[in-house]
């Protein structure tokens, strides 16, 4: 299936997305959608024939634990609700600790890199297979941006992704902005990574903006797409005709005209970089092409999942450039949302043989390593051996800043009540209190922390914060009468 040119759908720019011309598809963050109904904007887009792809951020398939069944069921439900041709997630871990390490559960609130080792690859591949068996449509996984690297890595990023595809048949979502980020921050060559990738497995491509500060590239998704990112997109297009390309924007949303201009720049880059055989994705391209049938729509074409250990093949040959793949060489992604088979298995194709399960030792080693790193980043424990301490401090500050920003979004009353002191108070709280639940739980815990510490100093602000916390922390929310009385009292005392 050809997707064409798309844009990330966000509630803040829903009207602008609907008004853009030449949009073939959109991508929506899965965790921001209800499992049983859609926002009106997405309903209207679907009625116009615009494909909607759910993009997950919370599975943590690169973590030591097996994927959470409830999270997988939620992602499957959203795929079905949207009639999506595929779902996407990330090659990352987002939490650590818990039973495998007999330690408190820690949440990163961010996508963190998986060590590119054979142990971590074994764990990731088994987690991917579990996810594939639980989803009604094919799965594609995204490479992430990183500020840090793991010591003792055994594979390059391209080799790691190639092995993942070879073992599982999963498709790839290649983020060219993340390749650029890793070039600036880690010295990794985007062209080399693209040479090592099985480009025929690419489902689609992300393009996003960022900013460089003090020699570190921050993948903000809140700035215009830069020329270096477009150059990486051109490198990719010179090797493969991607089925889809999507512009991401998650914050500091510009007017619709600026988004349209960025989309035009992406189209121009694809046209310019395309070999003479044909153009890149453009308006109407998705509707104009007929995808060839495939015997197994849930797998990357020409890449059968193998139960044999492919490690002997890892070496110089793995880094050799792969052939350029045109869209004609690929089968389709899948027809939208096929129903699960009667035996309960997902209708996306069966593997030829069941691979050997991952050893408990491999999961334990991965769990210990990831918990030690995450604890250093969010709980202030000593840095694990071999890591760049300066980069860990940068990553730690970035995680705390992101927590403060997201909590301010999910609980906007907190910065309103605390005023200019919100950010400093939250960062002080975050420095010694790792996140163990979601951001809404984090907001409640922060408010409780401030109140226990005797803040805020202003009695009116303290009263408002107390009421805010009480309204949300109980087993049941206060009744309407109680809320009205509190609101009236707040007005009488000048808020």
- The CB density around residue 181, as the number of other CB atoms within 10 Å, is 27
Number of H helices, E strands in the chain: 17, 12
Residue 325, both tokens: 């793949």
Which class for 283: exposed (0-12), middle (13-18), buried (19 or more C-beta within 10 A)? middle
HEC per residue, 269-331:
HHHHHCCCCCCCCCCCHHHHCCCCCCCCCCCCCCCCCCCCCCHHHCCHHHHCCCCCECHHHCC
Tokens read off for 67: 């994927």
| Pair 76, 83: CB distance under 8 Å | no
Q: What is the pLDDT of residue 348?
A: 40
Please give the DSSP secondary-structure letter assigned to residue 30. G
Q: What pLDDT is recorded for position 184? A: 92
The neighbour count for residue 203, using CB atoms within 10 Å, is 27
Nearest CA to 346 among 331, 357, 355, 334? Answer: 334
- How much of the chain is helix, strand and coil, in % rounded to 5? 45, 15, 40
Residues forming a β-bridge with 88 = 55, 140
Helix (H) or strand (E) holding 96: strand 93-98
| Pairing mode of beta strands 139-142, 171-175 | parallel
Is residue 337 within 8 Å of 84, Cβ to Cβ? yes
First-to-last alpha carbon distance for the chain, in angstroms, is 56
Secondary structure (H, E, C), 113-132: CCCCCHHHHHHHHHHHHHHH
pLDDT by residue (tens digit) across 397-448?
A: 999 999 999 999 999 999 999 999 999 999 999 998 999 888 999 999 999 9
Q: Are the C-beta atoms of residues 243 and 204 closer than 8 Å to each other?
A: yes
Rg (CA), the chain: 23
Q: Are 292 and 333 in contact (CB under 8 A)?
A: no
The pLDDT value recorded for residue 491 is: 55
Residues of the chain with pLDDT under 50: 277, 283-352, 495
Q: Which residue has the tokens 């109407």?
A: 284
Q: Are 251 and 214 in contact (CB under 8 A)?
A: no
Helix 256-273 vs helix 227-237: crossing angle, to nearest 10: 40
DSSP assignment letter at 416: H
């Amino acid at each position: 299936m050809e997707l064409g040119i798309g844009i990330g759908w966000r509630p803040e720019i829903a009207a602008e997305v609907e008004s853009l011309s030449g949009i073939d598809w959109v991508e929506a963050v899965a965790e921001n959608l209800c499992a049983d109904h859609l926002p009106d904007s997405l309903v209207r887009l679907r009625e116009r024939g615009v494909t909607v792809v759910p993009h997950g951020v919370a599975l943590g398939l690169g973590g030591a634990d097996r994927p959470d069944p409830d999270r997988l069921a939620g992602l499957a439900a959203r795929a079905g609700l949207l009639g999506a041709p595929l779902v996407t997630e990330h090659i990352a871990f987002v939490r650590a600790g818990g039973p495998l390490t007999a330690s408190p559960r820690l949440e990163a609130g961010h996508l963190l890199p998986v060590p590119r080792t054979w142990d971590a690859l074994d764990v990731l591949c088994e987690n991917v297979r579990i996810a594939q068996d639980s989803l009604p449509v094919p799965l594609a996984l995204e490479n992430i941006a990183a500020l840090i690297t793991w010591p003792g890595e055994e594979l390059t990023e391209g080799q790691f992704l190639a092995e993942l595809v070879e073992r599982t048949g999963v498709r790839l979502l290649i983020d060219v902005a993340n390749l650029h980020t890793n070039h600036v921050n880690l010295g990794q060559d985007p062209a080399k990574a693209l040479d090592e990738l099985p480009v025929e497995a690419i489902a689609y491509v992300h393009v996003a903006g960022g900013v460089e500060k003090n020699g570190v590239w921050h993948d903000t998704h809140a700035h215009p797409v830069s020329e270096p990112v477009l150059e990486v997109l051109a490198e990719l297009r010179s090797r493969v005709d991607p089925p889809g390309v999507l512009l991401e924007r998650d914050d500091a949303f510009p007017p619709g005209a600026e988004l349209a201009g960025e989309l035009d720049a992406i189209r121009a880059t694809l046209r310019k970089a395309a070999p003479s055989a044909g153009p890149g994705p453009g308006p109407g391209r998705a509707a104009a092409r007929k995808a060839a049938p495939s015997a197994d729509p849930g797998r990357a074409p020409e890449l059968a999942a193998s139960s044999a250990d492919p490690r002997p093949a890892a070496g110089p040959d793995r880094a050799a450039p792969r052939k350029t793949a045109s869209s004609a060489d690929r089968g389709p992604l899948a027809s939208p949302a096929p129903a699960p088979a009667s035996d309960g298995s997902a209708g996306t194709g069966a593997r030829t043989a069941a691979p050997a399960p991952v050893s408990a030792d491999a999961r334990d080693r991965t769990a210990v390593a990831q918990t030690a790193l995450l604890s250093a980043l969010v709980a202030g424990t000593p840095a694990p051996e071999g890591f760049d301490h300066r980069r860990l401090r940068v990553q730690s500050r970035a995680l705390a800043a992101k927590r403060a920003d997201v909590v301010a979004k999910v609980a906007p009353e907190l910065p309103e009540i605390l005023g200019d002191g919100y950010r400093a108070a939250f960062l002080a709280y975050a420095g010694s209190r790792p996140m163990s639940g979601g951001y809404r739980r984090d907001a409640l815990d922060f408010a409780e922390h401030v109140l226990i510490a005797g803040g805020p100093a202003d009695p009116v602000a303290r009263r408002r914060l107390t009421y805010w916390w009480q309204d949300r922390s109980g087993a049941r929310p206060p009744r309407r009468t109680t809320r009205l009385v509190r609101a009236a009292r707040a007005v009488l005392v000048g808020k």
